[in-house]
Chain A
Amino acid sequence: MMTMIRSKIAHLSTRATLAFVACLLASPAFAETETGSGWGLLNMTKGVTAISEEIYDLHMRIFEICVAIAIVVFGVMIWSIVKFRKSQGAVADTTLVHSTRVEVVWTAIPVVILVVMAVPAAKTLVKIEDTTNTQLSIKVTGFQWGWQYEYLDGGVTFISRLDRKSDAARELMSGIDPTTVDHYLLSVDHPLVVPAGEKVRLLLTGADVIHSWWMPAFGVKKDAIPGFINEAWFKVEPDKVGVYRGQCAELCGRDHGFMPIVAEVRSKADFDNWLKEEAAKEKQAAAPTDAAPAAAPAAAPSTAGSPGGLPAAP
């Protein structure tokens, strides 16, 4: 009898979980729904790296476990609430106050579930922490309020800030309808450009306060802390060339909500060309007569007058 009920519950909960999950799976990923309705935005993005997919799978697994437990536990609660109503003549069994056997069982089962969950999580974490054998290193400096990217060995450094259109629209009572702005608050003047298929290492630090570099599609979120260097890495699947968007994820002052992160993933060849061109441009710009380097802060006039200091030029 007990086993029958149990298998029935298990069956029901699997079905309900599947329905729930299917509903979530139907929701489009973050990067693909810039326009149109937001009602379908219900779940985490699978992202475009092996790690982000593993994270997504872990997320779905723990979610499914939670839903299954919820169905069983809430089921018993609701059943008790419906069945043992005084108005339906229920009489309390006041002798039912303790059962060592039951208590041991419901202590042991969660322990088993947690171990089942902890093992794959630990495995993924070990992979995430492996920053060896990277092919490209980029130093990322968060400042109030933008990001500086420095391609170590590439001779390219630039600053990336909220683009002008978003910046104009986000002023208090600007009168500009945000829906008319392309990628409102999620576009920048100079996106980070990275190659697909290569293991890219980020070296993160902060210039003033703590920021956090978050790119949901890469499964990377790491704090950028002044005076310290954090490491993170990602390797975008070779066929996932495209533009990906994220934001600063650590409260960093007045304009914390206005320092997006945009990464342009290009093919290896495109990336190499881009890096060469940029390096050449910067060399030219570094010539003493040139007064308007491409990546100078003047490119983002809207933030002039903000108290945040820029990171020291390299």
Chain B
Amino acid sequence: MVDSHAAHADHDDHDHKPHGWRRWVYATNHKDIGTMYLIFACTMFFIGGAMAMVIRAELFKPGMQLVDPQLFNSMTTMHALIMIFGAVMPGWTGLANWMIPMQVGAPDMALPRLNNFSFWILPFAFTLLIGTLFVPGGSPAGGWTMYPPLVLQTGAAFPMLIFAVHMMGASSILGAINVVVTIMNMRAPGMTLLRMPLFVWTWLITAYLLIAVMPVLAGAVTMLLTDHFFGTTFFTAAGGGDPVMFQHIFWFFGHPEVYILILPAFGIVSEIIPTFSRKPLFGYEAMVYATASIAFLSFIVWAHHMFTVGMPLAAQLFFMLSTMLIAVPTGVKVFNWTATMYKGSLTFEPPMLFALAFLFLFSVGGFSGLMLGIVPADYQYQDTYFVVAHFHYVLVPGAIFGMMAGVYYWLPKWVGKMYDMTLATWHFWLSAIFVNVLFFPQHFLGLAGMPRRIPDYAVQFTDWNMVSSIGGFGFGLSQLLFPYLIIKCVRSGKPVENPRVWEGAHGLEWELPAPAPYHSWTEPPPPSVIAKGAAH
């Protein structure tokens, strides 16, 4: 691999690419770092996915067939940590690295060495986290939410978990700082804030969310660490602490975190739907303001994750109302996407297909989210498979489909070659069908009374669990097409003739040649090009 890159680099001497392993280890180029982030995210996606397969295999039928309950709990815990911090977040950072300089008319990210550092923290963090599988006591099994006192029962893996979370947090904060500084300082003249593509906007807001809440998570896990090793009692009632306080602090991080996972997908969908509708985004400014409102509201809804802990009535009412309020700006976004398609001229290439599936299925997740906000009903939904169905609908056909849509949208620009459209369309339909077979029955299971995070269940839940597992295996296998498609495209894809790639594409990234040059905008694009790109 390395050699072929080096050989390829010879043809691009004007780009002054370092050769061999140095190009990657010492990487300061936003595209190289973006590529590493994306490969890393994809790897984690498959490791986390393999854990999901273990979970679905054990739940295929009642009785314990494959794993010990402790290992089962480890699988659910690790699956979540790896997917959230290893797959989705680095995946978004990878796309940000690739696209933000290209979209705002900058040569590179503002802080290239910091960029290198924030990426290279991750392999160490995840080696440590995944290494917990091999230590005495096994890997963390108290859920990704790390609630005390349970998490304090973790064995030798405990300090490894805390340190891994600290490293992931540091990486995210550094990445976010880089994004903010790049967007604030590196925009080409004429690229005013309200001309920025929506992907840049949503990432800017995401970056602020990251900077605001990752330190909160770091603080929370540090308190766990001192409770465990240094005799503090932040979360122990016997010493004047309160285990519920951890939940408040955790979810003060955790709720903005879910928007960190989804906002960049909003941005990508806002790029793709106009392109394949051949029509500018409807209500651009409303989209920006809706995103900002969602980000603001995300700070005042956290306790809806923990309605059953026994909060005062007034607090429950407040969090119910604030939660319901989020439906308003989210609705605005969905309506704007729909209005963008209205009176458009639509075609259905793979990026559009994924974006459309996002539109429908994310909305399904939004509906169940609204239902979960109704406190009395939440008492029945809380900690059941209904919740599992809800957040997987927003994260899989939401965040993951959004990310895949983005890759299918920009990949031809990155490598200057077109992927196999037929195969990508297959990838789409298999994913879209299986994701519903996998997650839709989980709504039924939850409503019928099946709690989440259990390795075995009462026999009346068998039928829908089998359906869900079959969907899971189908979804997991279909995803293998994705790296195959990308590798095939990079190696032997047909060169794209038009650097614009898609007929309806607008924005600065499409003004660059394809494949995109090693350094993006070494000279700022002329203002006329910027005005043309920002056709809203």
Query: Would you call A274 an interface residue if the criterion is a C-beta within 8 Å of the partner chain's C-beta atoms?
Result: no
Residue of A nearest to B66 (CB): A172
Q: In the bound complex, do residue A184 and residue B238 qualify as a contact, i.e. CB atoms below 8 Å apart?
A: no
27 A-B pairs within 8 Å (CB atoms) are namely A42-B447, A42-B448, A44-B380, A59-B374, A59-B380, A62-B370, A73-B335, A73-B363, A77-B338, A80-B342, A80-B344, A85-B346, A85-B347, A90-B344, A92-B345, A96-B282, A110-B327, A121-B374, A170-B456, A178-B456, A221-B383, A249-B308, A251-B142, A253-B141, A254-B68, A254-B141, A257-B451
A180 to chain B minimum Cβ distance, whole angstroms, is 10
Q: In the bound complex, do residue A97 and residue B149 qualify as a contact, i.e. CB atoms below 8 Å apart?
A: no
Tally of contacts, chain A with chain B, CB under 8 A: 301
A39 to chain B minimum Cβ distance, whole angstroms, is 5
CB contacts (< 8 Å) of A27 on chain B: these are 448
Complex Cα distance A99/B143, Å? 46
Q: In the bound complex, do residue B459 and residue A179 qualify as a contact, i.e. CB atoms below 8 Å apart?
A: yes
Query: Would you call A20 an interface residue if the criterion is a C-beta within 8 Å of the partner chain's C-beta atoms?
Result: no
Q: In the bound complex, do residue B444 and residue A42 qualify as a contact, i.e. CB atoms below 8 Å apart?
A: yes
A168 to chain B minimum Cβ distance, whole angstroms, is 11
Q: In the bound complex, do residue B444 and residue A92 qualify as a contact, i.e. CB atoms below 8 Å apart?
A: no
CB contacts (< 8 Å) of A43 on chain B: these are 444, 447-448
CB contacts (< 8 Å) of B331 on chain A: these are 106-107, 110
CB contacts (< 8 Å) of A252 on chain B: these are 150
Q: In the bound complex, do residue A125 and residue B380 qualify as a contact, i.e. CB atoms below 8 Å apart?
A: no
Q: In the bound complex, do residue B338 and residue A255 qualify as a contact, i.e. CB atoms below 8 Å apart?
A: no
Q: In the bound complex, do residue A41 and residue B460 qualify as a contact, i.e. CB atoms below 8 Å apart?
A: yes
**Which residues 270-321 in B have Cβ within 8 Å of A in the complex?**
277-286, 308-310, 313, 316-317, 320-321
Complex Cα distance A255/B346, Å? 53
Binds A, one of B40-48, B57-65, B197-205: B57-65
The 8 nearest A-B residue pairs measured at CB:
A227-B237, A257-B454, A41-B448, A230-B310, A66-B367, A38-B463, A93-B343, A92-B345
Chain B: residues with Cβ within 8 Å of the partner, total of: 96
Q: In the bound complex, do residue A87 and residue B335 qualify as a contact, i.e. CB atoms below 8 Å apart?
A: no
Complex Cα distance A76/B282, Å? 15
Query: Would you call B515 an interface residue if the criterion is a C-beta within 8 Å of the partner chain's C-beta atoms?
Result: no
CB contacts (< 8 Å) of B428 on chain A: these are none
B238 to chain A minimum Cβ distance, whole angstroms, is 6
Indicate which residue in A51, A176, A185, A246 contacts B456 across the interface (CB closer than 8 Å): A185
Query: Would you call A54 an interface residue if the criterion is a C-beta within 8 Å of the partner chain's C-beta atoms?
Result: yes
Complex Cα distance A59/B143, Å? 27
Q: In the bound complex, do residue B309 and residue A121 qualify as a contact, i.e. CB atoms below 8 Å apart?
A: no
A42 to chain B minimum Cβ distance, whole angstroms, is 5
Q: In the bound complex, do residue B363 and residue A114 qualify as a contact, i.e. CB atoms below 8 Å apart?
A: no
Query: Would you call A291 an interface residue if the criterion is a C-beta within 8 Å of the partner chain's C-beta atoms?
Result: no
Query: Would you call A290 an interface residue if the criterion is a C-beta within 8 Å of the partner chain's C-beta atoms?
Result: no
Query: Would you call A161 an interface residue if the criterion is a C-beta within 8 Å of the partner chain's C-beta atoms?
Result: no
B272 to chain A minimum Cβ distance, whole angstroms, is 14
Q: In the bound complex, do residue A38 and residue B342 qualify as a contact, i.e. CB atoms below 8 Å apart?
A: no
Residues of B that sit less than 8 Å from A by CB: 62-65, 67-70, 73, 141-143, 147, 149-150, 153, 236-238, 242-244, 277-286, 308-310, 313, 316-317, 320-321, 324-325, 327-328, 331-332, 334-335, 338-339, 341-347, 356, 359-360, 363-364, 367-368, 370-371, 374-377, 379-380, 382-384, 444-445, 447-449, 451, 453-464, 504, 535-536
What band does the interface of chain A fall in when counting residues whose beta carbon is under 8 Å from B?
A: 35 or more
Indicate which residue in B68, B324, B328, B448 contacts A30 across the interface (CB closer than 8 Å): B448
Complex Cα distance A209/B237, Å? 11
Q: In the bound complex, do residue B236 and residue A227 qualify as a contact, i.e. CB atoms below 8 Å apart?
A: yes
CB contacts (< 8 Å) of B64 on chain A: these are 170-174
Complex Cα distance A243/B346, Å? 57
Complex Cα distance A246/B458, Å? 11
Query: Would you call A299 an interface residue if the criterion is a C-beta within 8 Å of the partner chain's C-beta atoms?
Result: no
CB contacts (< 8 Å) of A62 on chain B: these are 370-371, 374, 377
Binds B, one of A7-15, A133-141, A212-220, A263-271: A212-220
B interface, by DSSP: helix, strand, loop or mixed?
A: helix
Q: In the bound complex, do residue A226 and residue B243 qualify as a contact, i.e. CB atoms below 8 Å apart?
A: yes
Q: A41-B461, A81-B341 are in contact. Are A251 and B320 (CB under 8 A)?
A: no
CB contacts (< 8 Å) of A176 on chain B: these are 63
Residues of A that sit less than 8 Å from B by CB: 27, 30, 33-39, 41-45, 51, 54-55, 58-59, 62-63, 66, 69-70, 73-74, 76-77, 80-81, 84-87, 90-94, 96-99, 102-103, 106-107, 110-111, 114, 117-118, 121-122, 124-126, 128-129, 169-174, 176-179, 183-186, 208-210, 212, 214, 216, 219-223, 225-228, 230-231, 246-258
Q: In the bound complex, do residue B383 and residue A250 qualify as a contact, i.e. CB atoms below 8 Å apart?
A: yes
CB contacts (< 8 Å) of A222 on chain B: these are 308, 310
Q: In the bound complex, do residue B376 and residue A125 qualify as a contact, i.e. CB atoms below 8 Å apart?
A: yes
Q: In the bound complex, do residue B460 and residue A87 qualify as a contact, i.e. CB atoms below 8 Å apart?
A: no
Q: Which of B342, B374, B375 has the most CB of A within 10 A?
A: B374
Indicate which residue in B277, B310, B327 contacts A223 across the interface (CB closer than 8 Å): B310
Q: A73-B338, A77-B341, A97-B280 are in contact. Are A114 and B324 (CB under 8 A)?
A: yes
Indicate which residue in A42, A51, A86 contacts B346 across the interface (CB closer than 8 Å): A86
Q: In the bound complex, do residue A58 and residue B456 qualify as a contact, i.e. CB atoms below 8 Å apart?
A: no
B354 to chain A minimum Cβ distance, whole angstroms, is 14
Q: In the bound complex, do residue B69 and residue A55 qualify as a contact, i.e. CB atoms below 8 Å apart?
A: no
CB contacts (< 8 Å) of B463 on chain A: these are 37-39, 41
Q: In the bound complex, do residue B360 and residue A33 qualify as a contact, i.e. CB atoms below 8 Å apart?
A: no
Complex Cα distance A223/B244, Å? 10
Q: In the bound complex, do residue A251 and residue B73 qualify as a contact, i.e. CB atoms below 8 Å apart?
A: yes
Complex Cα distance A27/B364, Å? 22
Q: In the bound complex, do residue A228 and residue B237 qualify as a contact, i.e. CB atoms below 8 Å apart?
A: yes
CB contacts (< 8 Å) of A256 on chain B: these are 69, 73, 453-454
Indicate which residue in A59, A99, A107, A184 contacts B459 across the interface (CB closer than 8 Å): A184
Q: In the bound complex, do residue A226 and residue B449 qualify as a contact, i.e. CB atoms below 8 Å apart?
A: no
B385 to chain A minimum Cβ distance, whole angstroms, is 11
Indicate which residue in A118, A185, A220, A250 contacts B320 across the interface (CB closer than 8 Å): A118
Q: In the bound complex, do residue A86 and residue B283 qualify as a contact, i.e. CB atoms below 8 Å apart?
A: no
Contacts A62-B370, A209-B150 aside, 12 further interface pairs with beta carbons under 8 A come to A33-B460, A36-B460, A66-B367, A74-B360, A84-B342, A97-B280, A97-B536, A106-B331, A118-B320, A169-B63, A247-B454, A255-B69
CB contacts (< 8 Å) of B65 on chain A: these are 172-173
Q: A84-B346, A94-B279, A210-B243 are in contact. Are A58 and B377 (CB under 8 A)?
A: yes
